[in-house]
Structure 1
Amino acid sequence: MTGKLGRIIRFGLVGVVNTGVYYGLYLLLGLAFPYLAAHVAAFLLAMVGSYFLNCYFTFRTTPSLRTFLLFPLSNVTNFVVTTAGLYALVTWLHVDQRIAPLLAAVVAIPFTFIVAQFVLLGRPGQAAPLVKEEERTS
């Protein structure tokens, strides 16, 4: 899985793992906290794991403090859409609060990929890759 298609597939796999981690944390934290508080905490915790998986597995770049601090930008759209979607689904459409986050998350995925790629790789030649560019695209 090399090149842009491989990167997109790896991003999808990380997304599945990240969604599983988020959802497990959301359900667990939902036992002790209101659903929106559980959502925020689970989202933040899962985002840390997502950063490292995306660095090492998806984009094959070296983690740094700079990209770690910028990585949440890749999740701002995701967070806004999923939070608003979660609220709308639970409050207005009466969707079960255990299912609603999964439905709300689907819409934001493409935006998250684009911003994560820019944050972690920057412009060509800017990132500190683990794999040389010619190995990525071959």
Structure 2
Amino acid sequence: MKQKWMHEVVRFGLVGGIATLLHYGIYLFMQQYVEVNIAYTVGYVISFLLNFYLTSCFTFRVKPSWMKMCGMGVAHGINYLLHICLLNLFLWMGISNAWAPVPVFCIAIPANFLLVRFVFKFKR
């Protein structure tokens, strides 16, 4: 059981890494043209869609469903609020637009793993 959980953590890390790089890349590109909160949000939404599919099929090896997408959407809604609050806190603290997402990711990603794991592993 412990080994299975560790494999999930590793797969979550890979999927999360891909989604985070996509999110950050979109943010870095867009923040040159639009307000940083908009750029961050667009990157978050696009990476969420990829993240949902990969999390279903690869991380937890379950069939994607609308119910799981809604559950993950709620988990990511909570996570998004954490992201956007932390982003604005770090910007307020004087961290540059380009670097402010980095500490956000370091805090929010582990919290998100717990939320998403609950959604995908919850049994009725």
Structure 1-normalised TM-score? 0.81
What is the aligned partner in structure 2 of residue 50 from structure 1?
51
Deviation (angstroms), 1:71: 1.0
| Range with greater deviation from structure 2 (51-60 or 71-80) | 71-80
* Higher RCO (CA 8 Å, separation ≥ 6 residues): 1
Structure 2: give runs of 5+ residues left out of the alignment.
none
What is the aligned partner in structure 2 of residue 76 from structure 1?
77
CA root-mean-square deviation: 1.4
Distance, in Å, in 2 between the alignment partners of 1:31 and 1:108 is 24
Distance, in Å, in 2 between the alignment partners of 1:108 and 1:78 is 7
What is the aligned partner in structure 2 of residue 39 from structure 1?
40
Matches within 5 A, 1:1-138: 3-91=4-92, 93-123=93-123
Preserved contact between residue 22 and residue 43 of structure 1 (Cα < 8 Å): yes
Structure 1: give runs of 5+ residues left out of the alignment.
127-138
Deviation (angstroms), 1:118: 1.8
Query: Which has more helix, going by share of residues?
Result: 2
Q: How many residues align?
A: 122
User: In terms of Rg, which structure is larger?
Assistant: 1
**Helix, strand or coil: the match of 1:32?**
coil
Structure 2-normalised TM-score? 0.90
